[in-house]
Structure 1
Amino acid sequence: MTSIHIVTAENRAGYEAILDEYFRLRHEIFVGERGWRDLERPDGRDMDGYDNDRATYLIALDNGKVIGGLRLYPTLLPHMISESFAHLVRGRDVLSGPSILECTRYFIVKERRTGRTDCRLLAAFQQFCLEEGITEVTAVVEMWWLPRWQQAGFKVRPLGLPTMVEGQPCIAAAIQISEDSLRHVSRLAGLRGSCLVRAAGASAFADRVPHVAA
């Protein structure tokens, strides 16, 4: 059965081979499939400046094989929306705070997109955020994500108007973290318990968020 592993700077030494496969798959999907040529690298691994010690990865594994994943990053630091997509947030400041994270690089491998892997990763996402005291998660996504999230039981609010990015209409949005959403998506995933694995050494997110004076 699919398990979702929390990988942080503190425990990544035990996940080096898995992380290498995760970055390779990111490149295969975001560059190869989706055509984001600005991300192309000669080593075939998608890595950027946000793949640092502040990042947390939720990586879906099946028999030790990476089949999906996502990256979470603190909004108290410069992050993708604040640095590259602030123009998608209309009439307000970019959301940030100790209880708000940014989600990027969400993917499921092609051969697992018709099963329950997607819902299991989304359930693990909601559970992780609840456990960490996160209230909202921001993201920039293609418009087709909105009905997908709605079907998963997520409550989402747009932060601006759709804008063309890489040839696709995209939107900045905030996902509400809630027990109701976790219960709904867990039912869709066929989960009777948690599929989230917090390996030894995976510190709490709050312990890795920098203090920012008021």
Structure 2
Amino acid sequence: MHYAKKHFTNGWNGKWNVECEDNQERDQFDNENTAYLLGMSEGQLFCGARFIDARYPTMTDEIFYQYFNNISLPKDIPCCEITRLFLDKERRDEGNLRSLPASKALFLAMIMYCIKNGYPGMHAVTSRGMYAIFRQANWKVDMLQRGLSEKGEAVYYIFMPANQQVIEDIINKDKNSAWLRDTLSRLNNL
């Protein structure tokens, strides 16, 4: 698996209302202040995430706030928002990652991105399902507030810490911990 920081848009809509152009998501937050983390396997993109520093306009402050009671990203500490988090299960399964914890590898890459950029973690608004996936991965995320989306579905404003202890928690409880450690070693060299 290889991760790269590039500009990227994708056609995965999840459950959010997203504008698409030529079958690709794109919004006002896709700009020079945005970093993209992309996961590739056998030349195929299969996962990714979008990071925006809280010093710039974010979805939390300009869109997602309406689903909650008075939320805003911290401006007085290093902080980032993560959006467009995706894992294409079909591409993962077609490649050589079917039996491996690809989502945990993505999570490790996200954590390493934060550590290398001086963020103690990342904020996100997630669905109930994504919140459960983080918890199942043994990532002790903090649920800051529960809200309702425009579709009346539960959404969660969360903080996902990024530090060495979180990395160990994610790796140690996985039967493929050796593969995850090897992936982590490669991420450290990026």
TM-score by length of 2: 0.81
Structure-1 separation of matches of 2:156 and 2:61: 14
Closer/same/farther in 2, CA of residues 93 and 46 from structure 1, 3 Å limit: closer
- 1:84 equivalent to 2:40? Answer no
Cα shift at 1:73 = 0.3
- 1:179 equivalent to 2:164? Answer yes
**Quick check: 1:141–1:170 contact (8 Å CA) kept in 2?**
yes
Unmatched runs of 5 consecutive residues or more in structure 1? 13-18, 200-214
For 1:192, what is the secondary structure of its paired residue? helix
- Partner residue, 1:4: 3
- Partner residue, 1:51: 30
Q: Greater RCO between the two (CA within 8 Å, min separation 6)?
A: 1
What root-mean-square deviation, in Å, do the aligned CA atoms of Structure 1 and Structure 2 show? Answer: 2.4
Cα shift at 1:198 = 6.8
**Quick check: 2:65–2:71 contact (8 Å CA) kept in 1?**
no
TM-score by length of 1: 0.73
- 1:154 equivalent to 2:134? Answer no
For 1:185, what is the secondary structure of its paired residue? helix
- Partner residue, 2:20: 40
Tell me whether 120-129 or 105-114 shows the greater mean CA deviation.
105-114
Identity of aligned residues (%): 20
Closer/same/farther in 2, CA of residues 93 and 104 from structure 1, 3 Å limit: closer
Alignment-mate amino acid for residue 67 of structure 1: F
Cα shift at 1:98 = 4.8
- Partner residue, 2:109: 124
Closer/same/farther in 2, CA of residues 173 and 68 from structure 1, 3 Å limit: same
Paired residue for 1:61, among 40, 43, 54?
40
Cα shift readout 1:37-82 (whole Å, capped 9, x = no counterpart): 54232x1111111111111111000122101100000111121000
Closer/same/farther in 2, CA of residues 164 and 129 from structure 1, 3 Å limit: same
Cα shift readout 1:64-109 (whole Å, capped 9, x = no counterpart): 2101100000111121000011234435644334521000000011
Closer/same/farther in 2, CA of residues 126 and 36 from structure 1, 3 Å limit: closer
**Quick check: 1:74–1:98 contact (8 Å CA) kept in 2?**
no
Closer/same/farther in 2, CA of residues 165 and 198 from structure 1, 3 Å limit: farther
Alignment-mate amino acid for residue 180 of structure 2: L
**Quick check: 1:3–1:197 contact (8 Å CA) kept in 2?**
no
- 1:170 equivalent to 2:155? Answer yes
Structure-2 separation of matches of 1:87 and 1:95: 17
Unmatched runs of 5 consecutive residues or more in structure 2? none
Tell me whether 183-192 or 138-147 shows the greater mean CA deviation.
183-192
- Partner residue, 1:96: 75
Alignment-mate amino acid for residue 156 of structure 2: I
**Quick check: 2:140–2:166 contact (8 Å CA) kept in 1?**
yes
**Quick check: 1:5–1:197 contact (8 Å CA) kept in 2?**
no
Cα shift readout 1:140-199 (whole Å, capped 9, x = no counterpart): 110122232122222222222231344531111111112111122234363223242776
